[in-house]
Amino acid sequence: MIINPYVFGVAYDPDAQAFFTAAGITDNTQKTAINTLVLSLKANNIWQKFKAIYPFVGGTATTHKFNLINPLDTNAAFRLVFNGGWTHSSTGATPNGTNAFANSFLVPSTTITLNSIGLSYYSRTNTTPANNSINMGSWVGAGLQYTILAIRSYLSSTRTYGILQTSNSVTLAQFVDANALGLYTITRTANNLTKIFKNGISSATNSELSTGNSTNSIYLGAVNGNTLNYSNRECAFASIGDGLTDTDASNFYTAVQAFNTTLARQV
């Protein structure tokens, strides 16, 4: 006798199932997208490199806050706490550019290795950015330890900038960016190597030496520092973790793009 396993329900990856349970995700398309994402990251040996992944599914602040890596509703699990004006929908979470940020409670100095760190932000907004906006990051004081990703803003509305674990805010990885759409990943894999990838393609490199980790937690939609530099770009995915190689970054983009395509919100 042939037994059809689907009669008894779909068997999801345990990490995906834990996220569904915590966030209250019941939609089958969303479940499929998350499950496939988890399996793809694991198959490419990069799942273990992430401290936090925010897939922004479910369409509400309650569902958007959960960290896929550790979906507990606690600061220690790096779930997001949204502050200020956010718009939550099926396509992601959008900060208002004036007072909105989300605290990840992930502090680089206590969680991230100095010479191995990565941030990602999937932007669905291609309008003029908020003034001097930064999409995510952390810094301490003026001219101290910076960890930031700024998509077509901060110093120029036509360039994307980033800097990780260094005090030099003048020497940044940067590139002329045709638009502000897609998955941006900034990663440091050595004390003298920082790269920015756009949609899995290496777009900027910087050899600035790492000098220290920020002691402020990382914000999304702004930067946690002496100024906040609020962003107004919709986020359909974000992550914080260890540094990614070129191959990792390419595989990561493929997985995230497939995830957002399943949800019909890819750009």
pLDDT of residue 167: 82
Burial class for 45, CB neighbours closer than 10 Å (0-12, 13-18, 19+): exposed
Strands 201-206 and 182-190: unpaired
Record the pTM: 0.94
In CATH terms, the fold of domain 53-262 is Jelly Rolls (2.60.120)
Instruction: Give the domain ranges of the chain.
Output: 53-262
What H or E segment, with its residue span, contains residue 252?
helix 246-262
Please give the average per-residue pLDDT across 194-223, as a whole number.
Answer: 95
Q: Which long-range contacts (C-beta less than 8 Å, at least 24 apart) are formed by 29-36?
A: 29/262, 29/263, 30/57, 30/58, 30/263, 32/262, 33/57, 33/259, 33/260, 33/262, 33/263, 34/68, 34/259, 36/258, 36/259, 36/262
Mean pLDDT confidence for 196-223? 95
What is the pLDDT, as a whole number, of residue 110?
Answer: 94
pLDDT tens-place string over residues 106-130: 999 999 999 999 999 999 999 877 7
At residue 2, does pLDDT exceed 50? no
